[in-house]
Amino acid sequence: MRLGQSPGYINQIEIGKSNPSIEMLIYICEELGVTMSAFFDDTQKHPLLVDAIIEQAKGLNKTSLESILYVMKNMKR
């Protein structure tokens, strides 16, 4: 990961001895390819896939979204 910070500083964040600034947190999320929401949501098992699904869904019409929702609900049964 290239964040422009020393490995020691990154290690301090990783082990909980230091907290990143908001700016650094944004860089970390960008480098990992996740949203801040996904970064902090520890309930999602596959945050990158969820984000990709949401991104693809943004371009769909109402009928398509309703169809996908129907399929998803049936898959959970």
Asked whether residue 73 is assigned to any structural domain, the reply reads yes
Asked whether residue 28 is assigned to any structural domain, the reply reads yes
Distance CA 53, CA 22 (A): 26
Asked whether residue 26 is assigned to any structural domain, the reply reads yes
Same domain, 28 and 48: no
- Supply the pLDDT for residue 73: 93
pTM for the whole structure: 0.52
Domain that holds residue 77: 42-77
Same domain, 25 and 2: yes
Asked whether residue 66 is assigned to any structural domain, the reply reads yes
Q: Is the pLDDT of residue 2 over 70?
A: no
**What's the domain count of the chain?**
2
- Supply the pLDDT for residue 33: 82
Per-residue model confidence as pLDDT tens digits over 6-49: 888 888 888 999 998 898 889 888 888 888 888 888 887 887 88
Same domain, 76 and 46: yes
Q: Residue 60, Cα to own-chain centre: how many angstroms? A: 21
Distance CA 75, CA 77 (A): 5
Asked whether residue 37 is assigned to any structural domain, the reply reads no
